[in-house]
Amino acid sequence: MIERAAALRRLPSIDRLLKEAAIAGLVAEYSHDTVVALLREGLEEIRGRAQAGAPLPPQAALVAELISRVKGGLKPTLCPVINATGVIIHTNLGRAPLSQEAIAAIETIAQGYSNLEFDLESGERGSRHSHLRDLLARLAGAQEAMVVNNNASAVLLALSTLAKGKEVIVSRGQAVEIGGGFRIPDVMRQSGARLVEVGTTNRTYLKDYEEAIGPRTGLLLRVHSSNFRIIGFAESVSIEELARLGRERGLPVLDDVGSGALLDTAQFGLAHEPMPQESLRAGVTLACFSGDKLLGGPQAGIIVGDKDAIERLRRNPLARAVRVDKFTLAALQATLLHYLRGEAQAKIPVWQMISRPLEAIADQAAEWALRLGKLGIEAQVIDGKSTVGGGSLPGETLPTKLVSLSFAGPPHRGALPVVSLSQFARRLREGTPPVIWRIERGAFLLDPRTVLPQDEAKLMAALEQVVHRLRPTAPGLSP
C-alpha cells in the first residue's frame, strides 16, 4: 500500500512533462491547453491502472506513453486502409471507392462557391436536385429524380410522404432486415405507415396482394431481399405484375431496388441484380437505391420515377432532414456521367474490380508471392473466391487467385520467428496504412482483386515493415 502510494508520487508532474522536448514541440505547434488536457487524461489513466494493482512502468516508458497519447489525440482517427479481403463493397471499409473523376469533382466543388441551388440561366433560385435529373432520365428512364442522404432515408421519406396513416402491403418474405438496424417493420413504424404482410415467408402470389387491398391501403411495396436468398419452394410476384396491380387499383408502387446496379451483373458471371431502369420500365411509381453499392459512387439514396410523387416527397419537411450535400452531388454526377459515356466498367472501381480478368489477378498474385518469398515468407498462390459484398448478391462469388501465407509449416532457414497469425494480422492492422486481410482455415490470405493499383506498393512496403520488425535481419525487397 505504502509502496504503491510512493510509486504514484513518482508520476511525473504536468510541469515536468511540458519540459520534455517532444512535448514542448507539440505545445509550440498546437494548442497548449489541448496538450495539457491530453496529458492530464493520460496521467489519470496511468494512476487508475496503478491503483488497480498494475506495476508502474519506468519513468522513461511512462513519458513515452504520454507523448504517444498526446500525438494520437491530435491526429485524425479516420484513415485510409488497404482492403485485401476480396470483398468489393465492404461496408465496414467504406463501401465503394470513387473514380478519379468523382474525387476531382468533390475537390473542385469544395474549393469555392457553386451553382448548387442557383439557376444560371434565369439568375434565380434553383434546385439541387436539378443537377441529376437529366442524367437519371437518360440512364434509367426516370421522369424525375431526387437524391437524399442514403437509401434508408429514401425509403423512409417515400413511405412517410405517400403512406403516412395508411396501410402498406408487403410480401412476408420481404419484411426484411438489411443490416445495421435497417428493418422494414421498424422503418414502416417510423414513417407512420402500417405494415400489412401478405403471403408466407417463401411464397407470395398476386392474389395475396389483391385480397389485402382495402380502403385504408396507401401503397404497394417491394423490397429487394439484397442480403439473403430463398431457394427451393419459393414464389414471388414480379415487379411488372405488382406495378400493373397498382395501376389498376390506383395505388402507388414503391420498389426498393437496393444496390443500384445500372449495369447487368449477369454479364460478369454473377446472378442478375435488379436494375432501377427495369423497375421504371415495369411502371412502378418510384424506385430507390443506394449510391455507394453497385452504382459505385458516394453514399446517397437515389429516388427516381413519377414527377408528381417526387414533388410531394420534396415538400415533406423530412426531405430537409435527409438532404444531400454538394460533395455527394458532385461525386454522383461524375459517377453517373461514366455510365452515360459508356466507360463505367473502365473507370468506376467497383466495376473494374468485378470485371477484372482472372489472368490479371493471377499474374499479380504470382508477383506478390515472389516478392514475399524474397523476404523469407513462404507464400503460395491458391484458387479462391471474391465476393461483391455490401449486402448484395448473397452466395455469389467471383473466381480469384489468393496469396496464402502459412505460418504452420516446419521452421526453415530464414523463416519468421514463431508468431501467431493473429499477431501478424494485428501488426498489419496497426501499420500505416493498415492492411485488412482474410484468415481462412489457419492461412493468411491476400486477394489482389480489391487492392487498388495505387495501393500495391504500399501493401508490399507494409508487409516488409512488419517482417523486419519481427526479424530485423530479413533481406529487403529493394535491391
By CB under 6 A, name the binding residues for ligand PLP.
150-152, 155, 178, 182, 223-224, 226, 256, 258-259, 290, 301, 391
Quick check: bond before 276 cis, omega within 30?
Answer: no
Cβ of residue 259: shortest distance to ligand PLP, in angstroms? 6
Nearer of residues 85 and 259 to ligand PLP, judged by Cβ? 259
Nearer of residues 226 and 333 to ligand PLP, judged by Cβ? 226
Cβ of residue 321: shortest distance to ligand PLP, in angstroms? 14
Compute CA 43 distance to the chain's CA centroid, rounded to the nearest angstrom.
Answer: 37
Nearer of residues 84 and 243 to ligand PLP, judged by Cβ? 243
Spatial separation of the C-alpha atoms in residues 427 and 454, rounded to whole Å: 22
Burial of 1 (0-12, 13-18, 19+ CB in 10 A): exposed
Cβ of residue 410: shortest distance to ligand PLP, in angstroms? 47
Cβ of residue 227: shortest distance to ligand PLP, in angstroms? 7
* Residue 414 contacts residue 474 (beta carbons within 8 Å): yes
Q: Give the H/E segment covering residue 183.
A: strand 182-183
Nearer of residues 224 and 356 to ligand PLP, judged by Cβ? 224
* Residue 348 contacts residue 263 (beta carbons within 8 Å): no
Cβ of residue 148: shortest distance to ligand PLP, in angstroms? 9
Cβ of residue 445: shortest distance to ligand PLP, in angstroms? 26
Nearer of residues 155 and 213 to ligand PLP, judged by Cβ? 155
Nearer of residues 282 and 403 to ligand PLP, judged by Cβ? 282
Angle at 96 between CA 91 and CA 97, to 5 degrees: 125
Cβ of residue 309: shortest distance to ligand PLP, in angstroms? 18
200-226 in b/e form (b: 16+ CB < 10 A) is eeeebbeebbeebbeeebbbbbbbbbb
Nearer of residues 169 and 451 to ligand PLP, judged by Cβ? 169
Cβ of residue 312: shortest distance to ligand PLP, in angstroms? 21
* Residue 249 contacts residue 219 (beta carbons within 8 Å): no
Nearer of residues 259 and 386 to ligand PLP, judged by Cβ? 259
Nearer of residues 180 and 453 to ligand PLP, judged by Cβ? 180
Q: Which residues contact 368 (CB under 8 A, 6 or more apart)?
A: 379, 403, 446, 448, 460
Cβ of residue 283: shortest distance to ligand PLP, in angstroms? 20
Cβ of residue 382: shortest distance to ligand PLP, in angstroms? 31
Spatial separation of the C-alpha atoms in residues 26 and 24, rounded to whole Å: 5
Cβ of residue 393: shortest distance to ligand PLP, in angstroms? 11
Spatial separation of the C-alpha atoms in residues 87 and 89, rounded to whole Å: 6
Nearer of residues 67 and 154 to ligand PLP, judged by Cβ? 154
Nearer of residues 187 and 353 to ligand PLP, judged by Cβ? 187
Cβ of residue 269: shortest distance to ligand PLP, in angstroms? 21
Spatial separation of the C-alpha atoms in residues 311 and 315, rounded to whole Å: 6
Listing DSSP states for 323-343 in one string gives BPPHHHHHHHHHHHHHHHTT-
* Residue 82 contacts residue 453 (beta carbons within 8 Å): no
289-311 in b/e form (b: 16+ CB < 10 A) is bbbbbbbbbbbbbbbbbbeebbe
Nearer of residues 199 and 448 to ligand PLP, judged by Cβ? 199
Compute CA 232 distance to the chain's CA centroid, rounded to the nearest angstrom.
Answer: 31
Cβ of residue 319: shortest distance to ligand PLP, in angstroms? 16
Which residue matches cell numbers 456521367? 337
Nearer of residues 156 and 405 to ligand PLP, judged by Cβ? 156
> Side-chain half-sphere of 420: how many Cα atoms within 13 Å?
3
Q: Which parts of 255-357 fold into alpha helices (H)? A: 276-282, 307-315, 317-321, 326-340, 344-347, 349-355
Burial of 13 (0-12, 13-18, 19+ CB in 10 A): exposed
Q: Which of 236, 322, 263, 252 is nearest to 287 (CA)?
A: 252
